[in-house]
Amino acid sequence: MKNSPEQFDLAPKEPAAPKEETKQEKHARLILRYLETKIISAHGSLDEGEEKEVQEYYEKLSPREKADILYGKVMAYLADQQAEAARKKETENQGKKFVPEETDPYLISEIKVLLSDSRVKGLLPSTYGEARLDSRKFRASELGKLWNDTREEIRQKEDAYKQIERDLHLNKINGQGKISSARSRLERLAENLAALEKREKELETLRGLPKTAENTDAVANFQYENLKEYKRQLDKGFVWLPSRKKIHQETVSAILNHRWPSEIGEAGSGKSDQADAAAIELTGYPPTTIECESITGETQLIGEQAIDSETGGSYIKYGPLKQAFTGYEDSRQKEPTFKTGRIARFDESGRLGPKAYSIIKKTRQMKPGDDFYGHPVLPGAGAIWTSNPVGPRYPDRHAPDPAMRRELAEINVDYPEMSKENPELYEFALTALLDENNHISVAQEELAPAYEKKDIPENQREVLEDGSIVIAKDEVIENMADARHGALWRFATAIKSLQDSFVYGNAETEKYPDTILRFKEDTDGNIEITTDGSGEPLTLSTSTVTLGELASWMTGFNERRQKQDAEFRVDSLGEWLNFKINTYLKQADKADKEKIKAIFEYFHFLEAQTLNFRDAKPLTPKEIGYLSPRVPRPVYLEKPPEDIPADEERPVASVKEKEAKEYETRQVLLESGEKALLKVREFTLERGKFDAKTKKLSSLTVALGQKFKVKNDDFTFAGIVEDKNSKYNGQPVGQFASGENLYRIFSPEMLDAGIMEEFKNTAENQIKDLADDIESFCQFENA
């Protein structure tokens, strides 16, 4: 019989944690201990004089700002430690002596100084201890597991779909049978993806599930993971917001339907990025690029004569269109550089004139193998057009002639949406605010939209399974310019209004959407936004804010304290946005300046900063997820009334009644599919504990809920079999710890071994968990 955990006194020699210590408090205590013992005490710091300068610099900051900075410093320290460990392993593998690098004493002093503030000492560990627990709850929850599994399955199936799609497009699959089966696989994958995406959407909106705090917390974690993915994409240059995915699907579908996409959109809307992504998906390569002009013709598209610098002889350097369609770069080649076709991207195609059209119309008729100016057309070759819209702003852009329009699929590329239902621009701004640790160092009140509590009429109230009644819910305040909204929410809406005004400033229309702002101008030239539908539509001539500019403004906030100019070094996000708006106004076209100013004033910018956020606490990942209104808010619940009149004394259960309830017998489902009768009670292992006094094995009572591990499966003890007709009568039963209502019957020996295995794992992981708690704090694992 193996020894069980109770055999030995393994309690730490240091003072034990308080009896009533919660998990969150434990995490906070461990984090603080790690900071003090494993970082500050383990490394050298600056001398007293230099450290005092560091203290004076940080003294003016609020506790939240200090806690946010401290988090960044600790993560930087841990990144260095990980790099050092990798370097040590590599050096020792090479049989060389490892010489460790000294940890920067300035960094250690910064951590020491920041942690010396008693408010920070309480704030940072407790906040990130809470966040760490949130992270573990999310990973263990059924919703979390299902969402993660769904997302991974979507990723795998999308990769498989795109590979088959590309192989078919490039004629890499030969033979009618293979082509037929490939198309069947595509059909099946498309159907599977549609079902998976529907499931993902239903999970993220809690369709069919109650909007209780437990469920909405899970969705907030979904949203945080989505923002992290957006951040990875932004670091590569392009964020796949929902509207961008839709444009991508339209572009790819047009090419597969043998039409050339023509993407029309304003400056900075992402047309080129969309075209490049479609080209890479279908061919595996970026497109060739044609800078379109009215004079573009055979020389620019097909080729022109050049001189060989080595031989002095002449050759033809092929143009981007011929390169894409044949794979050859110049006439000196005997074999093409590329064996399959590529996409030619026509930038500003609206400028094309008659010379280009005659060649393009000929190109449109080409099929794989046809002769194209001396070389065969490769499979998969095609083109994508991109252009600003035709209108008074761009007098040199023209719509293609009617014959050409029949060959094109026009796709509108607008700026991202910004509404309560689809706040893409706001989420893009949040993404750009994430730092290298996927953290946002801004007070929640400056970021989030504001909500109002809405009571639900009694005849429309939902009753949940536990009898609770949904009596009210929170809804985003309808007016997106309301001053109660956080600065970032109002700013994103202001930017979208500015973009809409810019778009319609080029539109030849007398009908404008209801969403466009309207204004009145007094005799002194002062402009004011109207809210009653009166006034004229506010349109802009030359001024917009591109996604690149918006991202730059947000990342600039994170770097503002590094700037030498004092104007940059503001305290709050609201102050930073006012600074950027004023800078933007100075550079704006004279015709637009007053209108732009009126837009931002309408959304309560360019006003004196009156709010104080010094008492705000750092954001956890779950709270960052909750910033988006896509995440449902927890509903307000009312417990069901009990039948006992208020003036009657409630009966108190006797000890025997309590025991009867505690030892209830019920039917459970075994993993084999069979059913068993389970008595919910403890179990005694006769030789399960080592008695240190008698030096003998004695009995051990296994309590309900006791964890144990058998062959990598985790269980909790649930009771014993209560069935005299069963050969398993009296044997212990464990429930799968995953939360499924499935059970397994064990022998006493297996239960004893499983408890010991769980104990060993716990003991082995105790130190590792301590490091994990600080290393990831609140699931800020660097992904």
Q: Are 372 and 361 in contact (CB under 8 A)?
A: no
What domains are there in the chain, each with its CATH number?
Answer: 22-139 (no CATH), 242-412 (3.40.50.300), 655-746 (no CATH)
Tokens of 750: 């297996």
Q: Are 676 and 730 in contact (CB under 8 A)?
A: no
Residue 692, pLDDT score: 53
DSSP conformation class of 100: P
Q: pLDDT tens digits, residue range 747-768?
A: 999 998 888 888 777 655 554 5
Residue 696, pLDDT score: 66
Q: Are 222 and 209 in contact (CB under 8 A)?
A: no
DSSP conformation class of 349: G
CA distance 531 to 538: 12
What are the CA-CA distances from residue 76 to residues 104, 133, 286, 435 (Å)? 11, 22, 36, 12
Residue 137, pLDDT score: 83
What is the number of helices (H) and of strands (E) in the chain?
23, 23
Mean pLDDT of 133-154: 87
CB atoms within 10 A of CB 728: 15
Tokens of 64: 């939240």
Residue 369, pLDDT score: 96
Task: Report the DSSP pairing between strands 260-264 and 382-387.
Answer: parallel
On the CB side of 311, how many CA atoms lie within 13 Å of its CA? Answer: 7
pLDDT bucket at 8, cuts 50 / 70 / 90: very low
CB atoms within 10 A of CB 623: 21
What are the CA-CA distances from residue 321 to residues 260, 296, 309, 338, 498 (Å)? 13, 12, 24, 14, 37
pLDDT bucket at 663, cuts 50 / 70 / 90: low
Residue 13, pLDDT score: 46
Q: Are 260 and 383 in contact (CB under 8 A)?
A: yes
CA distance 503 to 539: 8
What is the separation, in whole angstroms, between the first and last Cα of the chain? Answer: 44
3 state SS of 298? helix
Tally the residues of the chain: 783
Mean pLDDT of 449-470: 91
Q: Which residue, 183, 151, 62, 149, is CA-closest to 114?
A: 62
Residue 129, pLDDT score: 75
pLDDT bucket at 77, cuts 50 / 70 / 90: very high
Q: Are 268 and 503 in contact (CB under 8 A)?
A: no
pLDDT bucket at 19, cuts 50 / 70 / 90: low
Question: CB within 8 A of 108, min separation 6: which ones?
Answer: 39, 40, 43, 44, 45, 46, 77
CA distance 184 to 202: 27
CA distance 372 to 356: 15
Which residue shows structure tokens 């069947």? 184
Q: pLDDT tens digits, residue range 480-493?
A: 999 999 999 999 99
In sequence order, the β-bridge partners of residue 733 are: 719, 745
Tell me what the pLDDT averaged over the chain comes to. Answer: 87
Residue 263 is inside which H or E element, if any?
strand 260-264
pLDDT bucket at 551, cuts 50 / 70 / 90: very high
Mean pLDDT of 225-249: 96
Task: Work out the percent of the chain whose per-residue pLDDT is above 70.
Answer: 90
Q: Based on the number of CB atoms within 10 Å of its own CB, is 370 exposed (0-12), middle (13-18) or buried (19 or more)?
A: exposed
Q: pLDDT tens digits, residue range 83-120?
A: 988 898 889 888 898 898 999 999 999 999 999 998 88
CB atoms within 10 A of CB 709: 20
Which residue shows structure tokens 């990598």? 712
Mean pLDDT of 185-212: 92
Give pairs for 226-229: CB < 8 Å, separation 24+. Answer: 227/427, 227/430, 227/431, 227/434, 227/438, 227/624, 227/625, 227/628, 228/434, 228/438, 228/783
pTM, two decimal places? 0.78
Residue 779, pLDDT score: 37
Q: Which residue, 365, 411, 405, is CA-closest to 387?
A: 411
Q: pLDDT tens digits, residue range 684-702?
A: 888 765 555 565 677 888 8
Q: Which residue, 216, 161, 223, is CA-closest to 194?
A: 161
pLDDT at 660 over 50: no
Q: Are 637 and 472 in contact (CB under 8 A)?
A: no
Amino acid at 736: F
Q: pLDDT tens digits, residue range 28-44?
A: 788 888 888 989 999 99
pLDDT greater at residue 705 or residue 154: 154
pLDDT at 647 over 50: no
Give pairs for 43-51: CB < 8 Å, separation 24+. Answer: 43/103, 43/105, 43/108, 44/102, 44/103, 44/105, 44/108, 45/105, 45/108, 45/109, 45/112, 46/105, 46/106, 46/108, 46/109, 50/106, 50/109, 51/109, 51/112, 51/113
pLDDT bucket at 375, cuts 50 / 70 / 90: very high
Mean pLDDT of 436-443: 93
Q: Are 544 and 388 in contact (CB under 8 A)?
A: no
pLDDT at 712 over 90: no
